[in-house]
Amino acid sequence: MLETEELKKVFKGKPAVDGVNLYMDKGESVGLLGPNGAGKSTTISMISSLIKPTSGDVKLKGQSVLKDPGIIRNVLGVVPQEIALYNELTAYENLKFFGRIYGLKGKELESKIQEVLEIVGLKERQKEIVKTYSGGMQRRINMAAAMLHEPELLIMDEPTVGIDPQSRSHILDTVRHLNQEKGLSVLYTSHYMEEVERLCDRVYIMDHGQIIASGTKDELKSILSGEETIWIDLDRPYPDLVTDLQSHDGIRQTIETEKGLKLIVPKGSKLLGSIFQAAERHQAQILNVNVQVPSLEDVFLHLTGRKLRD
Amino acid sequence: MGNFLRKDLLVLLRDRTELMILLLMPILLIVILSFALRGILGGDTSDFHMDVAFVIEDDEEQGVIDFIEDLETMGMPPEVMMELERVVEEVKPYTMLEDLMNNESVSNMVTVEELDFSEAEEALKNEDVTAILLIPEDFTYHSLKKMLLNEGDGSELKMTVKDYSSIRTDVFLSIVNRYVNTVNFETAISQALIDLGHGDVLADRAEGEVMEAREFGGVESISAREPITSFQYYTVSMAVMFVLFVGATIASKAYVEKKQHVFNRIILSNRHPIVYLGGKMISASVISFLQLIILFLVSTLAFRTFPLDEPAFWGGIAIIAIILAICVGGFASLLTALTVKYENDALNHIFSGGIVTLLALVGGSFFPTSEMPEIIGTIGNWTPNGAALTAFLKWMQELDMTTILPYLIRIVALAAILIISSILIFPKRRSL
């Protein structure tokens, strides 16, 4: 349905996006994962025809979006990272304005407004001024405005940044519902690993303007199939213990976390005994130990050497 | 476009700060400036008064006697003689001037003092009088000869003033001109009838026309150039100034829309970008028109500034307001195009903070340009607000569309330039 070919954007001599190739099929939910500044927003701005690529092309159903932006605009809904609404208007007034912009009118417009308000769970509060809403509610209306014209493809740029858990959960459930029940194609960008894991069938991992890995969640995790993660909770930080473990031959990565340490070790390496001995040597008090299979976060760490939220 | 207009109106109505700037501020300024500067305009007759000196070297009675004696020597038929003598009584030039000066509307503004020439010169020098009007020797005799017999060169009134650029001089000059026009009118009618050999008709016609003309001279001279009161002046001048702020206000909203990515949402709807620009232009035009009409109506209802019951008057006001509003729409359009292209709100601040003030000053919003050097008035009449101000004032005085047409054409031309420029500047496709 959608593909990009060697998409590139250069700002002031520096490439923000550098040769991105991605594709998505109809009804698919695809994640674009990467830290802030990875080039995700620039990529989706080019895909949605808002900015012109320096080189490369975007194709929708085989047709060049570069040549005719109208072909994607007609089927596209974009949920931007910013609250792209009129703060002084009510949710209803905003939706009415944007609905009319899309050519909806009369009963059809009214019915679509009520439908999207129902989907985002704000039907009861539609007559309130947007600026009086919580951040989460504003984001939900932001999303509703992108769905009024029943798009085939929904692009969501970090739609859950800075909102309360309840609204976040509501948005994620909504996207899942739209994708699975209504067959809406979704391109979801985020730096929240768990959101992408929860929503997306396939994932593109971006860093420094390039796609550094792609595939289904399982395919990506298989990159780390020979590894496992050991989470160790400590009563306080122990820098000497970290140094000690980093020099251990069997441990591939030692990362300090808020609660203690995260160790990437070869699968089935039976290193727990050595770890406990090291803790004893440094008189470190271990509160909890947890062994996990790798997550996408671990994959990202493995590929880039840094965490997603760095 | 209606969608954009509805949205822009709602956004503006909920922005109390902007509403205060666009509506409350001008009303406050109308009141403050009208009271503070009421003396400088002609319509505030209680505060506007002038003394003029009449130097009368003519002896009207003797002039009439001399004229009748001339008639007798011409051997006219007795009935024509009788009628002419009757007409002479009706059209005695100095009596007509006296009647005009005694008219209530004029006498409220002008007090006539009869002085000899040296006293008058001294009074003018000391600024005790605004002007000296010299009625020369044999004024009556020569005027009647010219008026009724078309003989001689007539006579000339001589007016001496100290300051030609003052409003008082202008007003007095217009009164005297109206008088002169009336006398000339009499002359033309009388001569035409005599030339046609209708001496018998002359008497009947003359009496009727003289009465009509005298009424015309006395009343029309005032109504044709009805002086503008300070409330009228500042209602119009503040309205034409504050309406310009609408342009910057609407363009600033475009900046917010761009910043908040609402603009992107609109562009992604696959509407042509010019629709957005057109929406801004129409919104600014309609809001400007509403602002103008609200200011005029509030001023009328609160201060009885304009007559409420004259549809023709309001029709003209509406036409000028519509044309000015379209021009403001042009400003909004250009500022929006520049704001969106450069993603910068600075120009809107420069426009509302500096350019509007400059336009207002040159266009006569703070002081009448007649009180400033002539060049300022000339430049001011080429600014949209200055041209509109002049058009409004002229319409209020003369209710004549042909008089204000040149000013309206200037505003329309500027609007066209602004709109075309904005279309050329506004980003058309994707480099948004």
The pLDDT tens digits along chain B (432 residues) read 788 888 888 888 888 888 888 888 888 887 887 777 665 555 555 556 788 899 999 998 898 888 888 888 887 777 778 878 888 887 888 888 888 888 877 887 888 889 988 898 888 888 888 888 888 888 888 888 888 887 887 778 888 877 665 667 777 877 887 787 777 776 776 666 555 554 444 444 444 443 333 332 222 222 334 567 788 888 898 999 999 999 998 998 889 888 888 888 888 888 888 888 999 999 999 999 999 999 999 989 888 888 888 888 899 999 999 999 999 999 999 999 999 888 888 888 898 888 988 998 888 888 777 667 778 878 888 999 999 999 998 888 777 888 889 999 999 999 999 999 999 998 875 543
Please say whether the dihedral angle defined by the alpha carbons of residues B171, B174, B178 and B184, taken in this order, is positive or negative.
positive
Provide the pairing of β-strand A29-33 with A185-190. parallel
Alpha carbons within 13 A on the beta-carbon side of B389: 36
Is B110 in a helix, a strand, or coil? strand
CB B323 within 8 A of CB B408: yes
B264 vs A50: CB contact, 8 Å cut-off? Answer: yes
Rounded distance between C-alpha atoms, residue A70 and residue A51, angstroms = 13
If DSSP codes are grouped into helix, strand and coil, which group holds residue B392? helix
Question: Can you tell me the distance from the alpha carbon of B145 to that of B138, in angstroms, rounded to the nearest whole number?
Answer: 11
Measured between CA atoms, the residue of chain A closest to residue B3 is: A97
- What are the residues whose beta carbons fall under 8 Å from the beta carbon of B302, sequence distance 6 or more? B27
Q: How far apart are CA B134 and CA B121, in angstroms?
A: 11
In sequence order, the β-bridge partners of residue A190 are A33
CA distance A61 to A68: 13
- Compute the distance between CA of residue A285 and CA of residue A276 in angstroms, rounded to an integer: 10
Report DSSP state, residue B51: E
pLDDT of residue A100: 93
* Per-residue pLDDT at B206: 40
Q: B305, B231 in Cβ contact below 8 A?
A: yes
Q: Distance between CA atoms of B95 and B58, rounded to whole angstroms?
A: 12
**A94 to chain B, minimum CA–CA distance in Å?**
8
Q: pLDDT at position A46, please?
A: 92
Closest CA–CA distance from residue A157 to any residue of chain B (Å): 12
- Mean pLDDT split into 10-residue runs, chain A, 310 residues: 90 89 90 86 90 91 87 89 91 94 91 91 90 90 90 90 83 88 88 83 89 82 74 91 90 87 83 89 91 75 65
Cβ A145 vs Cβ B265: under 8 Å: yes
- When scoring A83, A92, A93, A97 by the number of chain B Cβ atoms within 10 A, the one with the most, hence best to mutate, is A97
In B, which residues are within 8 Å of A60 by CB distance?
none
**B325 and B295 in contact (C-beta within 8 Å)?**
no
The reported pLDDT for the residue numbered B196 is 55
- From chain B, the residues in CB contact with A95 under 8 A are none
Give me the pLDDT at residue B296, please. 92
User: Percent helix, strand, coil in chain B (nearest 5)?
Assistant: 75, 5, 20
Q: How far apart are CA B415 and CA B228, in angstroms?
A: 28
- A80 and B264 within 8 Å at the Cβ level: the answer is yes
Report the residue from A83, A102, A129 with minimal CB separation from B269.
A102
- Residue to mutate among A9, A44, A50, with most B CBs inside 10 A, is A50
Distance from CA of B19 to the nearest CA of A (A): 14
Tokens for A42?
């620039």
pLDDT at B18: 81
Asked if ipTM goes beyond 0.90, one says: no
Q: In whole angstroms, what is the distance from residue B228 CA to residue B210 CA?
A: 29
- Tell me if the pTM is above 0.90: no
Which alpha helices (H) appear in A15-90, and where do they start and end? 40-47, 70-73
What pLDDT does residue A35 have? 81
Contact B265/A98, CB-based, under 8 Å? yes
Q: Nearest-CA distance from B14 to chain A in Å?
A: 6
Which pLDDT belongs to residue B322? 96
- Chain A and chain B share a number of CB contacts under 8 A equal to 68
Please answer whether residues A57 and A135 qualify as being in contact, where contact means their C-beta atoms are separated by less than 8 angstroms. no
Optimal mutation site among B4, B262, B275, interface A, most CBs of chain A within 10 A = B262
A161 inside 8 A of chain B by CB: no
- For B53-100, the pLDDT digits (tens) are 999 999 988 988 888 888 888 877 777 788 788 888 878 888 888 888
Contact status of A73 with chain B (Cβ, < 8 Å): yes
Q: The tokens of B204 are what?
A: 């009947």
Quick one: pLDDT at residue B19? 81
What Cα–Cα distance (Å) separates residue B207 from each residue in A101, B86, B99, B146, B210? 72, 8, 17, 18, 5
**String of b and e for B181-194 (b: at least 16 CB within 10 Å)?**
ebbebbbebbeebb
Substitution target in B12, B16, B270 with the highest count of A β-carbons within 10 Å is B270
The Cα-based distances of B363 to B224, B240, B372, B387 in angstroms read: 24, 9, 11, 7
Q: How many residues does chain B have?
A: 432
Across the interface, of A48, A89, A98, the residue whose CB is closest to B11 is A89
- Tell me if B170 sits within 8 A of B368, measured CB to CB: no
Interface of A with B in 21-60 (CB under 8 A): 48-52
Cβ B42 vs Cβ B227: under 8 Å: yes
Q: Residue A130 to residues A79, A83, A156, B94: CA-CA distances in angstroms?
A: 16, 10, 20, 76
pLDDT for the residue B216: 27
Instruction: Say what the pLDDT of residue A108 is.
Output: 93
3 state DSSP class of A121:
coil
Q: What CA–CA distances, in Å, run from B344 to A67, A297, B164, B335, B340? A: 29, 39, 48, 10, 7
Tell me if B265 and A145 make a contact (CB, 8 A cut-off).
yes
* Tokens (6 digits) for A281: 């040597």
Q: Using a CB-CB distance cutoff of 8 angstroms, which residues of chain A are in contact with residue B430?
A: 49-52, 69
